[in-house]
Amino acid sequence: MAFEVVENKLPLTEECHHYENINEVPWDIQKYWHQRYSIFEFYDYDIHLTDDGWFGVTPEPVATKIAKDLPSKNKTTLIDLFAGSGGNVIAFAMAERWSRIVAIEKDPATLACAQHNADVYGVREAITWVLGDSLAYLETLRTDPGSLPAALQIDDPVHTATLFASPPWGGVSYRDHEVFDLSTMQPYSLAQLHEACYPLEHTLFLPRSSDLRQVARLAPEGGKIEVVQYCMSGASKAMVVFVPATTGSHASQKQ
């Protein structure tokens, strides 16, 4: 699957829902629906999600804090590689810290929800929307940047761009393990994600129980990475790892 810039708003589809009543909500997402106002404060203003979207969306207070915490010294472009329903990218746009924000999502119905939700928060036009495979985009940025559409070209990305990745957490269920082995994460392992993002600055939004030994291997030689647990109501929602850009030589991560 390639990628394309979406100039206009994609239409919401029958997979995009705004559930108003518990009776409409599939049983396996009812627990998330009860938390709808901590997920999107303005849920009642017609926020839409696909049923899958409920499992992966970053709650607004966490997304807002991450948008403030991203290092991003001198970075002008932020690319959200897995935009989902917009939980993070809306917060990035609202933070007004980057002159360009790119949101990439491979599922058209989910992207339609994200655009619609960004409208609710008044930031849709501040975001460049891309339908397609973010890893294919990174590969093109690395190998053939001149072939990218103008809206996706980046001058000197190591110094000017920062990546945010909140991938799906599928695989051997992270909930069933005290320590989650990031080499089993599906469809992208930690090594694959890091390899795709390297050498650019990147922030990874990972399960809270992720194996710190695997995360530590992302650190540049003699350097540091920051690892933060983002919490709500006394419980961690995710482990977030801030990996700096690599400007010198770098031994590729080994799992």
* Footprint (CB under 6 A) of ligand SAM, residues 166-195: 166-168
Q: How many residues bind ligand SAM (CB under 6 A)?
A: 20
Handedness of CA 32, 37, 43, 44 (dihedral sign): positive
Q: Is-contact 54 21, C-beta < 8 A? A: no
Stretch that binds ligand SAM, among 50-58, 67-75, 144-152, 223-231 (CB under 6 A): 50-58
Does 87 participate in binding ligand SAM (rule CB under 6 A)? yes
- Residue 107 engages ligand SAM in binding (rule: CB under 6 A): yes
- The reply on whether position 82 binds ligand SAM by CB under 6 A is yes
Q: How far apart are CA 42 and CA 90, in angstroms?
A: 12
Nearest residue (CB) to ligand SAM, 84 versus 244: 84
- 210 is an interface residue for ligand SAM by CB under 6 A: no
Please report whether residue 118 would count as binding ligand SAM according to CB under 6 A.
no
Distance, CA of 109 to CA of 198 (rounded, Å): 29
Among positions 56, 157, 207, 244, the unique one binding ligand SAM when judged by CB under 6 A: 56
Residue 9 and residue 103: Cα distance in Å, rounded? 13
Q: What is the C-alpha to C-alpha distance for residues 128 and 149, in angstroms, rounded to an integer?
A: 12
| Six token digits for residue 34 | 């009860």
Q: Least separation, in Å, of the C-beta of 53 and ligand SAM?
A: 6
Q: How do beta strands 235-243 and 3-6 pair?
A: unpaired
What the block records as the tokens of 151 is: 């809206």
> What size, in residues, is the chain?
255
Three-state DSSP state, 184: coil
Using CB under 6 A as the binding rule, whether residue 108 contacts ligand SAM is answered as: no
Rank residues 166 and 214 by Cβ distance to ligand SAM and give the closer one.
166
Q: Which of 9, 18, 97, 106 binds ligand SAM (CB under 6 A)?
A: 106
- The helix/strand/coil state of 134 is helix
Q: How far is the CB of 113 from ligand SAM (least distance, A)?
A: 9
Does position 110 bind ligand SAM by CB under 6 A? yes
Q: How far apart are CA 59 and CA 201, in angstroms?
A: 23
Stretch that binds ligand SAM, among 13-21, 25-33, 99-107, 218-226 (CB under 6 A): 99-107
Pairing of strands 127-132, 100-105: parallel
Q: Contact region for ligand SAM (CB under 6 A) — 53-61, 64-72, 92-100, 194-202?
A: 53-61
In angstroms, the CA 165 to CA 1 distance is 18
51 is a contact residue toward ligand SAM (CB under 6 A): no
Binding stretches for ligand SAM (CB under 6 A): 56-58, 82, 84-88, 104-107, 110, 133-135, 166-168
